[in-house]
Amino acid sequence: MTGAHQAIGKSIERVGAREKVTGRARYSADIELGAPLVLKALRSGRPHAEILAINTEKALRIKGVAAVFTAMDIPGKNLTGIILKDQPILMGDKVRSIADPVALVAAETETTAEQALKAIEVDYRDLPPVFDPEKAMAEDAPKVHAKGNVMVSRTIRRGDVGSAFTRCKSIIEKTYRTTFIEHNTIEPDAGAGFVDSDGTLVIYASTQNPHYDHKDVVTLLGLADEKVRIIQAATGGGFGSKLDLNVQGFIGLALYHLRRPVRYVYTREEAYLGTAKRHPLSMRMKTGADENGRLLAMQATIICDTGAYASYGPAVANRAPVHATGPYAIENVDIRSYGVYTNNPFCGAMRGFGTPQIAFAHESQIDLHALDLGLDPLAMRMLNAHRVGSTTATGQVFSASVGIGDCLRAIQPHYDEARKGWTAAPAAPYKKRGVGIGAMWYGIGNTGVQNPSTARVEMDRDGSVTLFTGCADIGQGSSTVLSQIAAEILGLAPQAVRLVTADTKFTTNAGATSASRQTYISGNAVKQAAEQLADVLKTEAMNKLRVAKSALMFDGGCALVIGQPDQCVSFAELAKRIKSKGASLSWQGYFDPETVPLDPQTGQGVPYATYAFAAQLALVTVDVLTGEVAVERVVAAHDVGKAIHPESVIGQICGGVAMGLGFALMEEFEPGKTLSMKDYHIPTCADMPEVVPIIVESPEPSGPFGAKGVGEPALIPTAPAILNAIADALGVRLYALPANLERVLAASIAAGHFKPAP
């Protein structure tokens, strides 16, 4: 192809959009199986206890109960987990949180299953629990796991921090805290399954990682790989919660023993109780800057409460310190991070993997330094922002695609306008206006480890093209973007590319839909596969048309001579010619970003091949009498490398702002108290500000057509911008999230904006 892109940069109709808006999309709860058995798990209700005995006899005598399973019924290895295998699907000797499942019921109806749960008798011996991660780190703390409570630790050291602090004019040392957060996907976790005619266990699941699910289920059941098939059903959101093995293991266990169709759909209450939460972080941060505002040193200690099991805790404990400096060059750093087991609900992946929490801290520090030195917060960010040639805390040197400066410059006109007009204008009585900035960087993919994806592009004899990818589209639009990439290479309309996605029987592993990795990593795998097919087609067309390869292009299912459209040959004819020679029309693509593992002692290395950058501006109004915060406007500039589907990028930005607003102002999961949505506050349309999305394109040379990612970056700067705006309005800062009515009102009183009646 030559000239402008035909498919890239176009906001085509999203794959699956019509099915969703018309109600034709089949979610796990919709799949027809013909009176499947209902599955329900009995949860412990105890934070820490030994299991002395489980008696299922009464439950089994209830009419309509097909089976009750315990850990004794698991034929394979009863441990799951993506990074560390430390979480049984049914507890055998010990429970570590109130959500731990100890038995699984299969019954003809939901009512019968609930009756059976109540009839199961479990004899426990309670153990002392530990809920505070800092206390859990003490030598004499109750052990959640036999190996100890510190699950993982990470150190990042560079330069001479002690000496650098002596040269600092401004030194700020503060502690920041965030809380548990619930994912609140529209669709609670769900799955269904049956046994195929050849004995294969077929499991439909609401999932973000079908191939990871497959690996855990075959290990759990002790089966050969080909005897388990995982298919991603239409998935009503994930945000990280559907990376863990939730219903899939239960369904596999029931199918293994009963050979009957089964279904498991979590109630909202069970989703709140039994699925992963966002990690609460405690972040002690000390930073220093010279008289000009140049950041010279950072010292930080980060403690991540991973709860009862690891899940993605190691990823959070590794990513948070790497991102602790924010998108700024700081030559001297000493950062320690700890992932700690407690008897709290287990914590796992949630949009950003610890980066939203650490951004709250580093962006607050920037504003505190600016205030201390009498500098403009935006100017101070521009002074310190990474650029091509700068070095990160892990020693990585940027060579391209560093768009943070462009993002900051993109919001500057809006910032200047707000400073001159909006905040200067008088607000309503008892209301204060504030302006805040939040910036961020985000490494695309997993941290300093192999992170590959695969894809296959196949052409049939009729010239039609099918893309096979294991990538799970959970609403972010990856199926659309990947079809655009394949279509661009082959000169087709994206709609002409057939898709087979996230089915372990037909697709190879594309890795998890997480870490904003699919556009960049799976996109490259798709591009490589399509390019191999394109080369074979051009070779055959060259022989047919008697021209050089460089003289050929693809368009509309034909290979044609550039400038001579009448000189062409159809894909169908090329396919027949290639097949007749015994050559392949099926090509596999593979891509693994170039990274260097972080040194265990110093944290030096190259954790990510590329980074997304962003800056957001928030305008808020604070009612000093009630503590109510109204976010009026958010300007969000995001460097995505290249927007393959611009409307999807805008959608991600707007959705990220909504989630960031909840993180900033209202969302707080309290273990044992937050039981369902009636106890939990999330933003509604009434809370949404005006959002001004700005797409910044700083192309990534290693990305497909220059693309990086935006899924998680869209969320990360919002809360920091809002909290900085609240501090600007009140003249006093909050150091714990969420900034709810009570905390904001307390800050307003502390700042002397009014005195409550005695």
DSSP string, 598-630: PPTTT--SB--S-EEEEEEEEEEEEETTT--EE
**Beta-ladder partners of 439:** 615
DSSP summary character for residue 197: T
C-alpha span between 92 and 50 (Å, rounded): 9
CATH 3.90.1170.50 domain extents, the chain: 31-127+184-274
Query: How buried is residue 35: exposed, middle or buried, by Cβ count under 10 Å (0-12/13-18/19+)?
Result: exposed
Which residue from 111, 141, 118, 105 is spatially nearest to 45, judged by alpha carbons? Answer: 118
User: Quick one: tokens of 26?
Assistant: 């089949």
pLDDT for 754 = 75
Mean pLDDT (the chain, rounded) = 96
Which residue from 200, 249, 707 is spatially nearest to 482, judged by alpha carbons? Answer: 707
User: Quick one: tokens of 273?
Assistant: 């109780």
Residues sharing a CB contact under 8 Å with residue 526, sequence separation 6 or more, in sequence order:
455, 457, 467, 469, 482, 485, 486, 589, 704
User: Quick one: tokens of 752?
Assistant: 């002397």
pLDDT for 425 = 72
Which residue from 263, 305, 334, 342 is spatially nearest to 38, judged by alpha carbons? Answer: 263
Locate all alpha helices (DSSP H) within 200-297, ordered by sequence. 210-221, 247-258, 268-274
Residues sharing a CB contact under 8 Å with residue 492, sequence separation 6 or more, in sequence order:
7, 465, 486, 554, 556, 557
C-alpha span between 184 and 396 (Å, rounded): 36
Q: Indicate the pTM of the whole model.
A: 0.97
Instruction: Please report, as a single letter, which amino acid is at residue 681.
Output: H
pLDDT for 683 = 96
C-alpha span between 185 and 168 (Å, rounded): 46
Which residue from 228, 227, 192, 225 is spatially nearest to 207, judged by alpha carbons? Answer: 192
Rg over CA atoms, the chain: 27
**Beta-ladder partners of 670:** none
- Our measurement of the distance from residue 448's CA atom to the centroid of its chain's CA atoms, rounded to an integer in Å, reads 17
Q: In degrees rounded to 5, what are phi and psi of residue 544?
A: -75, -45
Q: Which fold has domain 31-127+184-274?
A: Aldehyde Oxidoreductase; domain 3 (3.90.1170)
CATH of domain 17-24+452-591: 3.30.365.10
Q: Would you call 198 helix, strand, or coil by DSSP?
A: coil
CA separation, residue 453 to residues 259, 508, 525, 592 (Å): 33, 8, 6, 7
Positions of the chain with pLDDT lower than 70, given as ranges: 1-3, 426
User: Quick one: tokens of 40?
Assistant: 């329900």
Q: Are 468 and 507 in contact (CB under 8 A)?
A: yes
First-residue to last-residue Cα distance in the chain: 76
Q: What phi-psi label fits residue 222: left (phi over 0), alpha (psi between -120 and 50 degrees) or beta?
A: left
CA separation, residue 20 to residues 51, 235, 272 (Å): 45, 10, 25
User: Quick one: tokens of 452?
Assistant: 């590959």
pLDDT for 429 = 84
Instruction: Please report, as a single letter, which amino acid is at residue 502.
Output: A
C-alpha span between 342 and 303 (Å, rounded): 12
CATH 3.30.365.10 domain extents, the chain: 17-24+452-591, 281-447+599-750
Report pLDDT digits (tens) over 15-24: 999 999 999 9
Q: Which fold has domain 281-447+599-750?
A: Aldehyde Oxidoreductase; domain 4 (3.30.365)
Residue 724's H or E segment, with its range, is helix 718-730
